[in-house]
Amino acid sequence: AYTAEPFVPEGAGVEVLREAAAGCRGCPLHREATQTVFGAGNAHGRVLLVGEQPGDQEDRQGAPFVGPAGKVLTRALHEAGIEPGDTYVTNAVKHFKFEVVPERGKRRIHKSPSLRETAACKPWLEAELRLVDPEVIVALGATAGKALLGSSFRVTKQRGALLPLPGHEERGECLVATIHPSAVLRADDREALYAGLVSDLRMAARALR
């Protein structure tokens, strides 16, 4: 099976992890992408945010949520009262998965990662969870929710509630799931989706001790 496991150094700090992740060959996604996009932000933040995978901009720049979805996320966090300096932001999958559709020019079109790829990349997410040791984890969308809660996770059913994180119960970490910020960009009813995102993030803010 594909797995990042042999590439993840034990007990490493964030910079050593990031360097190791740059050389990850745990699944085929590293072949086409420009670079590994590891998590960024406050490695001791109280809020750990998990997206799906880097997008086109993130793949080029090497940092998570620096494109249009990141703008939505930053605004929503501010509105929910979560300080950017209190957050560490990462993705369930660390390489950009895309296809090039010739009829659409050279544009690289985002493709959702498979469960196999998400599972392969999970050791990096686990290492980030151990390192950051957050008070609350926010799963942004279905891929992050499934990576953290299992494949039966459904955003529509489980969003906006404080959920226990399997395997982390005794540390008291909890999880709030919400929609992916890029859903706000695609929707017809942007205002309603955005308001829902902010309301779910407020639940995460309330979980802070």
Contact positions toward ligand URA, by CB under 6 A?
A: 51-55, 58, 64-65, 67, 69, 91, 182
26 binds ligand SF4 (CB under 6 A): yes
Q: Which does 95 bind (CB under 5 to 8 A by kind): ligand URA, ligand SF4, none?
A: ligand SF4
Q: Which does 142 bind (CB under 5 to 8 A by kind): ligand URA, ligand SF4, none?
A: none
Range in contact with ligand SF4 (rule: CB under 6 A) among 22-30, 70-78, 128-136, 162-170: 22-30
Angle at 107 between CA 40 and CA 32, to 5 degrees: 60
Which C-beta is closer to ligand SF4: that of 98 or that of 194? 98
Nearest approach, Cβ of 182 to ligand URA (angstroms)? 6
Residue 29 and residue 97 in contact, taking contact as beta carbons nearer than 8 Å: yes
Q: In the range 64-123, which residues lie near ligand SF4 by CB under 6 A? A: 93-95, 117, 120-121
Which amino acid makes up residue 104?
A: R
Nearest approach, Cβ of 164 to ligand URA (angstroms)? 23
Which residues sit at the interface with ligand SF4, rule CB under 6 A? 4, 21, 24-27, 29-30, 36, 93-95, 117, 120-121, 124
